[in-house]
Amino acid sequence: MKRFFIRLAGYACIVLSSCITEYEAKGLKEAKDILVVEGIITEGESIITLSRSVNLTDANPVAYVNDALVLVECDDGTRIFADPVYRRDGRYTLRIDNLKFDRKYRLKIEVEEEDCSANTLPCPIRKFEYSTDYISPIVTPTIDSVFWSKKDKGQPVNIHVATHSTDSELLYYRWSYREDWEIMSDEMSLDDFIYPFYCWNWTISRNLLIGSAEKTIFGQLTNIILEIMPSDRRLAVLYRINVKQNAISKQAYDYYYNIKKNTRQTASIFAPIQSELKGNITCVTSPDKPVIGYVDFSSTTYDQLYIPRAALAYEYPGRSWSCDEVLQDSLLAWYGDIPESYVPYYKSFDESGKEVLNYIYSRCIDCTFFGTTIKPDDWPNDHY
């Protein structure tokens, strides 16, 4: 069994996007279709993602599980059911108003799967139940600060998170974040041709971000969670990162650490690891049935950082496209028609007094090329 779970390390990579090394695994057909569970359960809204391991040569990189029953059960008998999946992306939403830190919780999953244990074809469909043990939720320390640094011109902008705990048992963390940034067009609209000048965009973290204060002084920990090149457009006007911090158990940390270590192996993904990648989820219906994943219960603490253009983190890289206006007649002469990449800019008059239309490259004047006109509700900049 141990050898089997060691082989699963490569497949956890498919779901946990900390994988940075491409490789081609062979002889792993037996690791296909294993349930993969990902998430941390906290107060407020939590997302549990269910998928199945796939062969690296499969056309679809992820096989989501969209028809499961997902719930949290407290040892006082309270049951909280996850909202059903609407987007068919394997994401189940749990809403818990307040974690009771004097109680214990467990995650339960019920899903219909093929049962091929009897080696009969076709394999019959039956319901399998998966569960964690009852777990005491962890109180997460506050984030001391989120800050940025940059060694020199041309060097990356590093986003750091700093935290500490006076509890010697709280030494392990996992972070996630959301980025929002403002965008301006290269040129403003003129005359009657109005295009959005201010836009916004956002993204969420995809990497597995963990840290340990086990070997630090007084439980203090500072980690780099993100690196941004100084020429990145995210830094051009106003940038914001909202960081979420969860304290996790040592067992959870070891599990995630082994995943990260194995997916960075360059020689072989079958290299020995410190422990099995079993996680803390088991199949109650069939205990020998493998499952990948680790779920902890903990409160969440938050902090955020703004980086304005005036902070000089951004270094303008120049444009790889021209924003010179072009006469309509010139475009017709060159292309026979107006290319979709050009839009009307302003009207002028030629030497004979005839009105002519000037065009410009669309990405110079329409900021929706890089984002949307939907501004975050709490964005500090107002534009009228």
pLDDT value for 243: 98
Q: What share of the chain is helix, strand, coil (3-state, %, to 5)?
A: 15, 40, 45
Indicate the residue type of 112.
E
**What confidence category does residue 149 fall into, taking pLDDT thresholds of 50, 70 and 90?**
very high
> Burial of 111 by CB count in 10 Å (0-12 exposed, 13-18 middle, 19+ buried)?
middle
pLDDT value for 21: 29
Kindly state the tokens that stand for 352: 């004979």
pLDDT value for 63: 85
| 372 three-class SS | strand
pLDDT value for 31: 60
Between CA 239 and CA 229 the distance in angstroms is: 13
pLDDT value for 55: 63
pLDDT value for 106: 97
CA 207 to chain centre: 6
| HSE-CB for 88 with a 13 A CA cutoff | 1
pLDDT value for 111: 95
CB count in 10 Å sphere of residue 116: 12
Instruction: Determine the number of helices (DSSP H) and then strands (DSSP E) in the chain.
Output: 5, 21
pLDDT value for 271: 34
**What confidence category does residue 118 fall into, taking pLDDT thresholds of 50, 70 and 90?**
confident
pLDDT value for 156: 97
**10 or 292: which leads in pLDDT:** 292
pLDDT digits (tens, 9 = 90+) for 21-45: 222 333 334 567 889 999 999 999 9
**152 or 117: which leads in pLDDT:** 152
**166 or 54: which leads in pLDDT:** 166
pLDDT digits (tens, 9 = 90+) for 225-273: 999 999 999 999 999 999 999 999 999 999 999 888 776 543 333 333 3
Q: pLDDT above 90 covers what percent of the chain?
A: 66
Give yes or no for a contact between 49 and 34, defined as CB atoms under 8 angstroms apart.
no
pTM above 0.75, yes or no: yes
For range 121-125, the mean pLDDT: 86
pLDDT digits (tens, 9 = 90+) for 56-79: 555 566 789 999 999 999 999 999
Q: What is the DSSP string of 139-179?
A: PPPPEEEEEEE--STTSPEEEEEEE--SSTT--EEEEEEEE
Q: Is the sign of the CA dihedral 331, 333, 334, 335 positive or negative? A: positive
**316 or 275: which leads in pLDDT:** 316
pLDDT value for 56: 53
pLDDT digits (tens, 9 = 90+) for 309-337: 999 999 999 888 899 999 999 999 999 99
Say whether pLDDT at 84 is over 60: yes
pLDDT digits (tens, 9 = 90+) for 49-62: 999 887 655 556 67
Say whether pLDDT at 349 is over 70: yes
pLDDT value for 224: 96
H helices of the chain, in order, are 2-7, 9-15, 250-263, 328-335, 362-365
Q: What is the DSSP string of 95-116?
A: EES---TTS-EEEEEEEEEE--
Q: Work out the mean pLDDT of the chain and round it to a whole number.
A: 85
**146 or 15: which leads in pLDDT:** 146
H helices of 154-303, in order, are 250-263
Say whether pLDDT at 10 is over 90: no
